[in-house]
Amino acid sequence: MKIHVLQALGLGRRTGVHPPARKLTRARAIEHMPLPSKVILPLQQHIGACAKAVVKRGDEVKVGQVIAESDGFVSAPIHATISGTVKQITTIASPITGQPVLAIIIESDGKDEWIELTPADPQNLSNEQILTRIQNAGIVGMGGAAFPTHVKLKPPPQKHIHTVIVNGAECEPYITADDRLMLEETDRIIAGIKIAMQVLSVTTAHIAIEDNKPRAIERIRRALAQLSPPGRITVVAVPSRYPMGAEKTLVKSILHVEVPEGGLPMDVGAVVQNVATLAAVSDAVTLGKPLVERVVTVAGMVSESKNLLARFGTAASSLIELCGELDTSVDQVIFGGPMMGIAQPSYDSPIIKGTNCVLLKRSDFRDEHSCIRCGRCIDSCPMGLMPLMFVNYDKKREYEALPHYHIANCVECGACAYNCPAYIPLVSYIKNGKTELRKRGIK
């Protein structure tokens, strides 16, 4: 009630922005793409420590074989995604950071030979065994951030977890990979949810889906109704408002509490997992299958946008070739959505675990003007920040002032820059500010 009164007075916060959805591929079924002749597998496809190569040049590998082992708990192993020969171990530009990263290049033998998989019934596995299977399968968050999943599913014992929030929001424009997965692989997702609930020993799960995906909502509701016994899994239609799929925004929408500043959803008893991640968890635990492929939406300035099931390491150009004519004016390849995606230096950048979209577009550079203090960035910030202040202090190199405006809270969703009439690249300023603070050791 209090919230409603405040909102009527314009004092409550209705944050976020409304970019055009442009979900052109929502009706296109997932298409299995042909096996690539070679894959490029960066050893860092996740947040945390870089994996260590355990194969050498000339080695024969099978699909699902570990080619790089995780180094530490917050890390994930990398598997061969095609069968063939290790051709080279070299540095490439990372699709995440653009910085040099080691990558293993495998040439296909065209046989698609898999390692032997060991299926299991999750009911008969201990939590420890389940987590090990997830860790060994190399599963990381597939919504984009790529945080190792086994870490998220093993919160410290002092945290009381009561809810699994399943992230099917898919709030970025263009992307329909999760939407299609929810329609076509509903059972795998639900199996994954049950495993996550089992490991975390919780009885409640909420599947959050933006209300612009009525078919997915309907499909999952129907599947849940047939569950026996009916578990406490519910579908929650959340408003289509970017960045709904950001963890903290989602927690607030579903549980009506805010994650404490500097904290994680587990501090309020929730673990958030993306739908594609949970489908992979199901494969890993029940089939023993490592994570080697994902659904990627190819969209933008191609004549035939598609949802493709692609092996990791496949060059973006191979996906684009399957999507008809590429507009001649395209000069940007974005991995991820238009709001938070990363511009790639090459058409041959490899698809990795967090790549949910390959977006082809024309660059649209605009000169930055002076801030006119319109306050749109403040109104749109989902984290309740004053983004323009970060720009002000960045320009003056007064980085010590940034923490006073809670810069660490920024999730870099880009809502502020989307709305800026002066075309100020606020996210770049904020990232720069964070880097400068790190250099100075200021938190």
Partner 1 sequence: MDKVSKLVLSPAPHLRGNASINRDMYIVTLALLSPCAGAVYFFGLYVLLMLAVGVLCTVLTEYAAKLMRRQPFHMDGSAIVTGILLVLVMPPRTPLWIIAVGAVFCIAIAKEAFGGLGHNIFNPALAGRAFVTLSFAGALTRWIAPVSSLVADGVTAATPLSEGFITALTNGVPYKALFLGNVAGSVGETSALLILIGGAILLAFGLIKWQVPVFYIGTVFFLSWIMGQDPLFHILAGGLMLGAFFMATDYVTSPLTTRGKIIFAVGAGILVVVIRVLGTMPEGVCYSILLMNAVTPLIDRYVRPKPYGHMPTTRKGA
Provide the 10 A C-beta neighbour count for residue 349: 24
DSSP type of residue 285:
I
Give the residue from 396, 389, 432, 427 showing the smallest Cα distance to 411.
Answer: 427
Distance CA 314, CA 347 (A): 11
Q: Which of 55, 151, 250, 378 binds partner 1 (CB under 8 A)?
A: 378
Q: Which of 8, 365, 396, 397 binds partner 1 (CB under 8 A)?
A: 365
Coil/strand/helix, residue 293: strand
Q: Is 163 in the site for partner 1 (CB under 8 A)?
A: no
Q: Is 23 in the site for partner 1 (CB under 8 A)?
A: no
Distance CA 331, CA 359 (A): 11
What is the token pair recorded at 159?
């945290």
Window 36-65: residues binding partner 1 (CB under 8 A): none
Which residue, 68 or 385, is less far from partner 1 as judged by CB?
A: 385
Is it true that the peptide bond before 243 is cis, omega within 30 degrees of 0?
Answer: yes
Count of residues that interact with partner 1, criterion CB under 8 A: 80
What is the token pair recorded at 309?
């099931």
Q: Is 10 in the site for partner 1 (CB under 8 A)?
A: yes
Q: Is 11 in the site for partner 1 (CB under 8 A)?
A: yes
Q: Is 221 in the site for partner 1 (CB under 8 A)?
A: no
Specify the stretch interacting with partner 1 by CB under 8 A; choose among 28-36, 40-48, 106-114, 407-415: 407-415
Minimal distance, residue 295 CB to partner 1, in Å: 21
Q: Is 265 in the site for partner 1 (CB under 8 A)?
A: no
Sheet holding 84-93, edge to edge: 38-42, 100-108, 84-93, 60-61
Minimal distance, residue 432 CB to partner 1, in Å: 10
What is the token pair recorded at 27?
């009706």
Q: Please state the φ and ψ torsions of residue 339, each to the nearest 5 degrees.
A: -85, -40
**Mask for 69-108, x = binds partner 1 (CB under 8 A):** -----------------------------x----------
Q: Is 175 in the site for partner 1 (CB under 8 A)?
A: no
Q: Which of 89, 145, 266, 326 binds partner 1 (CB under 8 A)?
A: 326
What is the token pair recorded at 227?
């569950």
Which residue, 248 or 353, is less far from partner 1 as judged by CB?
A: 248
